[in-house]
């Protein structure tokens, strides 16, 4: 019913969204991760599907239900997310990378539970591949790429640099310091940065409403180019 009442302005488009944290295993019982709950990415996927897009959600471990009409692909680590996203990227019209991807993983994953010793433990970490940067390198003409950035300082400078470095068309910049933004909240406030230098800060709103604004802007860019 909700879909019947929603304008199908993304009908015929293929949208891929990533959401949630990644988990990088140290051993069979422990991992490195972050505070992402996946709410923002799930909201984007839910709205895209309601608006008629053929929607794929590549999700790290979350406690959320799969939104109606969304094809969900579950992954655990950044390397698994890389494979799941890169293998599906070519056919997408829009890719929205809301996931909080771990930058590092334990250099080795122990096959058995690590036992504690008397002294300190030093953990060697290996760099994970940057999925968004890879998508930016492989971007097809007409394909739109939207990244996210969560910062605690120099929000706009860092976000503008990521937008450029990863060849994004749009970047959603979140400050962990803003009231109503951040991990696990139902609302969000963000600044949208565009490749042509434009910036926009919508007012504080629900993650669903912000998801619609993000999709509106991507669709407008698509239509401006067509
Ligand atoms: N990202 C990604 N793959 C990674 C790391 C990040 O695809 N290995 C994506 C995120 O999904 C997000 C964007 O890149 O859309 C920015 O993530 P962020 O962590 O803010 O940027 P980094 O480039 O990792 O820089 P840093 O963490 O050092 O601020
Ligand atoms: Ca990072």
Which of 4, 5, 1, 10 has its CA nearest to residue 211? 10
Indicate if ligand 1 lies below 6 Å from the C-beta of 174: no
**Residue 103 in marked binding region:** yes
Active site residue 34: yes
- pLDDT of 129 reads 98
- pLDDT of 170 reads 98
H-helix segments, the chain? 39-50, 78-86, 131-137, 155-165, 207-225
- pLDDT of 128 reads 98
- pLDDT of 156 reads 95
Residue stretches of the chain with pLDDT short of 50 = none
**Residue 193 in marked binding region:** no
Q: Which residues contact 11 (CB under 8 A, 6 or more apart)?
A: 51, 52, 53
- pLDDT of 215 reads 98
Identify the residue whose C-alpha is closest to ligand 1 atom 27.
103
With 0-12 CB in 10 A as exposed, 13-18 as middle and 19+ as buried, what is 79?
middle
Identify the residue whose C-alpha is closest to ligand 1 atom 18.
149
User: Cα–Cα distance between 100 and 221 in angstroms, integer?
Assistant: 25
Q: Which ligand is nearest to the CA of 151?
A: 1
Angle at 73 between CA 67 and CA 75, to 5 degrees: 120
Q: Which atom of ligand 1 is nearest to the CA of 135?
A: 7
In 3-128, where do the E strands start and end? 14-19, 24-27, 30-32, 54-59, 70-74, 94-97, 104-106, 125-127
Q: Note the ipTM here.
A: 0.98
Cα of 126 vs centre of ligand 2, distance in Å, is 13
Q: Hey, how many other C-beta atoms are within 10 angstroms of the C-beta on 33?
A: 17
- pLDDT of 20 reads 98
- pLDDT of 225 reads 87
DSSP 3-state assignment of 210?
A: helix
**Residue 132 in marked binding region:** yes
Indicate if ligand 1 lies below 6 Å from the C-beta of 60: no
């Amino acid at each position: 019913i909700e879909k019947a009442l929603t304008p199908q302005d993304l009908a015929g488009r293929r949208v891929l969204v990533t959401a949630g944290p990644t988990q990088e295993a140290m051993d069979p019982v422990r991992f490195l991760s972050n505070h992402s709950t996946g709410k923002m990415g799930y909201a984007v996927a839910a709205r895209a599907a309601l608006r008629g897009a053929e929607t794929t959600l590549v999700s790290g471990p979350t406690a959320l239900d799969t939104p109606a009409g969304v094809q969900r692909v579950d992954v655990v680590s950044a390397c698994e997310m890389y494979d799941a996203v890169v293998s599906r990227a070519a056919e997408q019209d829009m890719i929205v990378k809301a996931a909080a991807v771990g930058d590092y993983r334990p250099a080795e994953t122990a096959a058995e539970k690590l036992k504690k010793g008397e002294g300190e433990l030093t953990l060697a970490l290996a760099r994970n591949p940057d999925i968004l940067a890879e998508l930016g390198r492989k971007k097809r003409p007409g394909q739109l790429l939207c990244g996210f950035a969560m910062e605690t300082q120099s929000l706009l400078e860092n976000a503008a640099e990521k937008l450029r470095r990863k060849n994004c068309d749009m970047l959603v910049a979140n400050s962990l310091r803003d009231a109503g933004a951040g991990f696990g909240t139902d609302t969000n406030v963000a600044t949208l940065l565009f490749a042509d230098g434009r910036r926009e800060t919508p007012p504080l709103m629900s993650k669903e409403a912000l998801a619609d604004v993000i999709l509106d802007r991507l669709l407008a860019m698509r239509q401006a180019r067509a």
